[in-house]
Structure 1
Amino acid sequence: MTSNRQYDLVLLGPTGYTGQFCAEHIVQNYPTDLKWAIAGRSIQKIETIAKELKALNPDRIDPDVLVVQLNPTELNELAQKTRLVINCVGPYHLYSTPVVEACAVNGTHYVDATGETPWIKLIIEKYHETAKANGAIMIPSTGVESAPADILAWALVKRVREDLSSPTRQINSTIKEMKSSGPSGGTLNTVLSIFDWLPLSEISKSMTPFSLSVSPPPTNIPRESILEKLLGVRAIRDLGTVTTSPSAIADITIVHRSSSLMPELYGQQFFFRQFLSVRNAMIGVALHIAFVVGISLLALPPVRWLARKFVFAPGTGPRREDSTNDRLEYHAVATADNADAQRVFGKITYGGGMYLFTGLLLAEAARVILDEEEKIKKVSRGGIVTPATLGQDFVDRLEKVGCNIETKVFKY
């Protein structure tokens, strides 16, 4: 779609750990005539990144360098200049609410990599209708949390519709493998600062499975047994032994928002669960207890103070050479909402650093929005939506850059 705005895309926060990976992916994979800019608060840091990007691909148009403070006046000016903002400035609940507001008010498309569910709930309540009215497509959680789980669920639901002529009743998903060289300083500081921002009781209220949905939960969702709640571990057909996943609630809330935004595809009774695969039940119980205890301890200010002494500084993370063997693989099984309860298996795999993957996901999601703006508006209905609303165009682009998504119908 043609636009009279100065830029197609502005990357906000290119000096951060994830922002650098995103900028590099744009330089190496986008059309060389892209009209874009990189923006942040420090001119010296941004100019350093610009020089590094020039060395990666001397043939492309250099990005403009913009100095932007995170205040309403400068963010509104920025949003008015560009069709889309990729926002890599976190923790998002501390710094990025004004960015969302500026994009929503000015009809500027937006993607970010937050996994901060309480903050997503806040911005939906405050800005979804404004963004929708102004024609903005805004997609938070387009990184490892929660794009892989969301787009895999979409691919499964699509396969159930096409091959089994049925809506989907449920999807059980598990992180089959997550080999990672470790979290970045930004991720760790975000986790700690969430507990500074909200008490545990308020965090819990905003992180129920359907907290981001636009419609009420379906009826007759199977209840967990007391043992499953206490121990976390269970066995699921075709997925094996699984336990509590630390990223489950972030992914679950996003997938349920997707299903409520596209009920004609998912069906009215759809629900989603996510777990972590483990070798045996003993390990599963140990991980579940460790997670519950860890979350409880983080609610204590002295524990957070001590933890900050040992984490990476924001903007830093694992060395790139240490993440070359990283790998992410999700498995999932969808059950059709029909008399035979037919099932479809799916998996998504990516080999490489998790922050490299997040940068790739952000850049490719932005590319889909820029190329298929009207289609995405029709599917998502606009406003603050989800990665799954990008549909097959997103799947196709991810497969071209090394992320494989597969589905198959079970014959038994």
Structure 2
Amino acid sequence: MVDILLIGATGFCGRHAARYILEHPQRSKFTVGLAARSRSKLLSIGLPVDDTVQIFELDILDERAVESAVKQAKVVLNCVGPFWHYGTPVVLACARNGIHYVDITGETPWILDIIRKFDYLATKTHAIIVPSCGIDSVPADISVHLASQTLAHAPLGTSTTSAALHGGVPTGTIASFLAVFEDVPLHLLLFSAHDWSLSPVPGARSPRPALVYRLGPGSREVGGVAVFNRVNRALVQRTAGLREYARREARLCGGGAGAAGCSGDPACYGPAFTYTEFMPTGNAVSACVLSSVIGLVFATLTFIAPVRWVFKRLMMLTSSVPADHTLERGRMKYVNVTASDEPSPRYAKTVIKGRGDPGTLLTAVMVVESALTLLLDELPPLAARGGVLTPMTALGDGLIRRLRANGRIEIETAVVGSPDDDVEESKKTR
């Protein structure tokens, strides 16, 4: 038995996740297994593997082999994508055997598929299944979670995030992005793009797509629509929906956690909550161009197969594996402003900064700390039921504490007077 089994340790992101977990300051508190298709390749890539690390030679398409490996772990950390192709057997094995699971997917149609197939099963075995524990969608989920806390759990209104990401795009990310358009049935792809597609209950309609986005009323920070706006929006909406569903269930059960199977959560976001994400551009003209280009790309990739073929060839020809030292030059800055749904709205501003390439180094940190939260920390009430959850419903404040202690990631939040106010100054004046 091992505490954490990392699948895909020879992949680009998986290699960095493996190194991070093997060199973790709490390494003495848990055991690790590394799984890859080739044992010789795994041992040749320079990871600090010693006799305490179990090596699994694993073909991820062999369902029996996957189940055998999964049953030997307490938490499975999956870095093998595209998840539409390779992720389902791993989630099935975890859900069937009551094994906890985290991954780095940003594939909303696949998340919708595993919810439909395995959510009920996972609640019966108490397996906690948490997709999207990397750059998609941990910062987005944390931002709204902290905003709710900062506003003393008042009902929320609009929540808007400016997401500035500077770094490379791994080939695995490109493959996952294209797999969504190439292989997912069109009806499932279109449905997964709908508002609240991952949520057990519907909520307020999201604002209509725009050419220019602002961080809040009167804000000077503007930008164009973010590439992964719908991915992160769907995940945050699932957090909101799961909490609202638990609240309703607790009320029907007669008062909360004491009722069989019920666990209320006071941190519901409220019926007016909406979430939007954009990429800052500096001026309105650049924002219009960015939004137009992204809209055109998504439309053509969805409906025109020859364009997908050309786009895939171009992306694969121009992509490359960056050297490790260049990954340190990357950075991330998420700035979220969330308004309370009150006659005189209050604003919570959350700033999440990361040092390192967002899609590799920071994603490795986030997913490993997510797995360690499941293994070592106290979890929120909703986690006790199992099922396909989200980072904040499954991991909550434990994950935030771990990321703050990491050294690569800074997380600050405060009530501000206006969206452009500085968080640090607002904290000093409170």
Partners of 1:383 and 1:340 in 2: how far apart?
Answer: 38
Q: Does structure 1 residue 404 correspond to structure 2 residue 427?
A: no
User: Of 129, 153, 166, which aligns to 1:179?
Assistant: 166
Structure-2 separation of matches of 1:22 and 1:97: 21
Letter in 1 for 2:23: Q
Tell me how far apart the structure 1 counterparts of residues 74 and 318 of structure 2 sit (CA, whole Å). 28
With 22-31 and 139-148 compared, the bigger mean Cα shift is at 22-31
Question: What residue in structure 1 maps to residue 328 of structure 2?
Answer: 324
Q: Is it true that 1:82 corresponds to 2:76 in the alignment?
A: no
8 Å Cα contact 1:37/1:63 also seen in 2: yes
In structure 2, list runs of 5 or more residues that go unmatched.
Answer: 245-265, 419-430
- C-alpha RMSD of matched pairs (Å): 2.2
Deviation of the 1:96 alpha carbon: 1.0
Give the one of 22, 32, 37 matched to 1:36.
32
Cα distance in 2 for partners of 1:34, 1:44 equals 24
What is the match of residue 66 of structure 1? Answer: 56
Written as runs of structure 1 = structure 2, the 5 A alignment for 1:4-403 is: 6-29=1-24, 30-49=26-45, 51-54=46-49, 62-70=52-60, 71-161=62-152, 166-175=154-163, 177-180=164-167, 182-198=168-184, 200=186, 202-218=188-204, 221=205, 223-224=207-208, 229=210, 231-233=211-213, 236-237=216-217, 238=219, 240-263=221-244, 264-269=266-271, 270-299=273-302, 300-312=304-316, 317-354=321-358, 355-372=360-377, 375-376=379-380, 378-379=382-383, 381-389=385-393, 390-401=395-406, 402-403=408-409
Distance 1:313 1:356, change over 3 A: farther
Whole-angstrom CA distance in 2 between matches of 1:308 and 1:244: 22
Q: Matches of 2:12 and 2:71 in 1, distance apart?
A: 26
Flag the 1:189–1:39 CA change in 2: closer, same or farther, 3 A. same
Superimposed CA distance per residue, residues 291-339 of structure 1 (whole angstroms, 9 cap, x where no aligned partner): 1222233243333333333435899622222222211101111111233
Secondary structure, counterpart of 2:350 in structure 1? strand
Q: Output the CA distance in 1 between the equivalents of 2:157 and 2:277.
A: 15
Aligned equivalents of 1:87 and 1:106: distance in 2? Answer: 16
Distance in 1 separating the partners of 2:206 and 2:38: 52
Residue identity matched to 1:205: F
Q: Distance in 2 between matches of 1:242 and 1:132?
A: 40
TM-score using structure 1 length: 0.88
- Structure 2: distance between partners of 1:315 and 1:105: 37
CA distance in 2, matches of 1:380, 1:339: 36
The Cα offsets for residues 222-249 of structure 1, whole Å up to 9 and x where unpaired, read as: 753xxx54x3545733462122111100
What is the SS of the residue equivalent to 2:354? strand
Which residue in 1 is equivalent to 2:258? Answer: none
Contact 1:184–1:314 (CA under 8 A) maintained in structure 2 = no
Cα pair distance change 1:233/1:285, threshold 3 Å: farther
* TM-score, length of structure 2 as denominator length: 0.85
Where do 5+ consecutive residues of structure 1 fail to align?
1-5
1:63 CA drift (Å): 1.3
Counterpart residue number, 2:263: none
Contact 2:134 2:366 in 1 (8 A): yes
Query: Alignment partner of 1:334: what SS?
Result: strand
Question: How far is the alpha carbon of 1:179 from its aligned partner?
Answer: 1.4
Distance change >3 Å, CA 233–CA 315, structure 1 → 2:
closer
Judged with a 3 Å threshold, the aligned counterparts in structure 2 of structure 1 residues 376 and 79 are, in CA distance, closer, same or farther, namely farther
**1:155 Cα deviation from its structure 2 partner:** 1.0
The worse-fitting range, judged by mean Cα deviation, of 39-48 and 358-367 is: 39-48
**Is the Cα–Cα contact under 8 Å of residues 126 and 384 in structure 2 kept in the other structure?**
no
